[in-house]
Amino acid sequence: MSDQKRQVLVIDSGVGGLTVAKEIMALIPNASIAYFADHGYFPYGDKDEAWLVNRLVDLLRKGITRFNPDVLVIACNTASTTVLPHLRQRFSRPIVGVVPAIKPASQHSQKKQIGLLATTGTVSRSYTDRLIADFASDCQVIAVGSQELVHMAESKIQGQAVDHEKLREICRDFLNDHGEPRVDVVVLGCTHFPVLRIDFEQAVSDEIRWIDSGEAIAQRVKSLMPNELAAASGSHIFLTSDDRYLSSGLTSYLRNMGFSDMGLG
């Protein structure tokens, strides 16, 4: 397995950050990506701040030593809303985090009633409260925290079916008593959740706009990249801290995305 340079190092607790990696690949096709899924400690949503800081500092150090990336991406909303300032104090390389797309949601909403769907950790963070106060003070924000959706997204990528009845139950607060949308925009505030976008549309409502920050993150990464990238900079590599997650369903999904190397990291 190659340890050659990768321009972008992406880290998440699982495969949710692949939704961000996919946007980066589309926008910067000649950039090579090293993706690390920390399945051994999945999910991050229930971890405390001190643990997350120590874990991510360790992973970034190892990733920098191994791949010498130009840009580091923390592709996890829970971690980003908690540890980014700590990481930026310790590392000189640019670090891009993922935060809920509250600002664009408030701009797109006609009803001025928006939903936030995230992990319980992200929903409860003071950082998220500040985002809402700063960018959606004119909106009613209905926040729903769910760890179960993270597991459902992981299972879908592994090739398993999504329980639409359970999905609708989790999102019931976005609907009124007649099953009609109370909100016109829902922020997918976890990188795992865009995996379920079509399921949200089918099970909850296709009248709701389900948005995430993946494209904006890719734009930010591009702005931080060297102006000229090597034409043959290397293929994409996927690593996990628990190779029991490397099922045939996941490896097939990764190959379709363009990952040629996969294994335990």
**What CATH number does the domain containing 170 carry?**
3.40.50.1860
Cα 153-84-250 angle, rounded to 5 deg: 25
0.85 exceeded by the pTM? yes
Confirm or deny that 12 is annotated as ligand binding.
yes
Residues 126 and 205 reside in one and the same domain: yes
Q: Over 80: is that where the pLDDT of 230 sits?
A: no
- Does residue 1 lie within any of the structural domains? no
SS3 state at 137: coil
Among 172, 196, 212, which residue terminates a domain? 212
Confirm or deny that 164 is annotated as ligand binding.
no
Residue 94: partners with Cβ closer than 8 Å, 6 or more residues away: 70, 71, 72, 224
Q: How confident is the model at residue 19 (pLDDT cuts 50, 70, 90)?
A: very high
Say how many C-beta atoms besides its own lie within 10 A of residue 232's C-beta.
8
- Does residue 58 lie within any of the structural domains? yes
Q: Over 80: is that where the pLDDT of 221 sits?
A: yes
Check: CB of residue 74 under 8 Å from CB of residue 50.
Answer: no
Question: In the 8-state DSSP scheme, what is residue 161?
Answer: P
Give the tens place of pLDDT for each residue, 148-200.
999 999 999 999 999 999 999 999 999 999 999 999 999 999 999 999 999 99
Confirm or deny that 68 is annotated as ligand binding.
no
**Tokens at residue 182, please?**
């109370």
Average pLDDT, the chain: 94
Residues 197 and 170 reside in one and the same domain: yes
Q: Which residues are catalytic?
A: 76, 190
Confirm or deny that 129 is annotated as ligand binding.
no
Q: Between the CA of residue 138 and those of 61, 102, 108, 141, 236, what are the distances in Å?
A: 42, 12, 12, 9, 42
Confirm or deny that 78 is annotated as ligand binding.
yes
DSSP string, 19-49: HHHHHHHHH-TT--EEEEE-GGG--STT--H
- On the CB side of 264, how many CA atoms lie within 13 Å of its CA? 4
Residues 53 and 86 reside in one and the same domain: yes
Q: Over 60: is that where the pLDDT of 1 sits?
A: no
Range of the domain at 121: 102-212
Q: How confident is the model at residue 32 (pLDDT cuts 50, 70, 90)?
A: very high
Q: How far apart are CA 233 and CA 194, in angstroms?
A: 28
Per-residue pLDDT averaged across 135-158, rounded? 96
Domains held by the chain: number:
2
Q: How confident is the model at residue 251 (pLDDT cuts 50, 70, 90)?
A: very high
Residues 74 and 85 reside in one and the same domain: yes
Confirm or deny that 44 is annotated as ligand binding.
yes
- Does residue 34 lie within any of the structural domains? yes
Q: How far apart are CA 112 and CA 126, in angstroms?
A: 22
Confirm or deny that 77 is annotated as ligand binding.
yes
Can you say how many angstroms the Cα of residue 131 is from the centroid of all Cα atoms in its chain? 17
Closest to 78 measured CA to CA, from 132, 113, 31, 123? 123
Confirm or deny that 19 is annotated as ligand binding.
no
Give the tens place of pLDDT for each residue, 56-107.
999 999 999 999 999 999 999 989 988 999 999 999 999 999 999 999 999 9
Q: How far apart are CA 236 and CA 23, in angstroms?
A: 14
- Does residue 3 lie within any of the structural domains? no
Q: How confident is the model at residue 45 (pLDDT cuts 50, 70, 90)?
A: confident
Q: How far apart are CA 258 and CA 32, in angstroms?
A: 10
Classify the phi-psi angles of 148: left when phi > 0, otherwise alpha if psi is within -120 to 50, otherwise beta. Answer: alpha
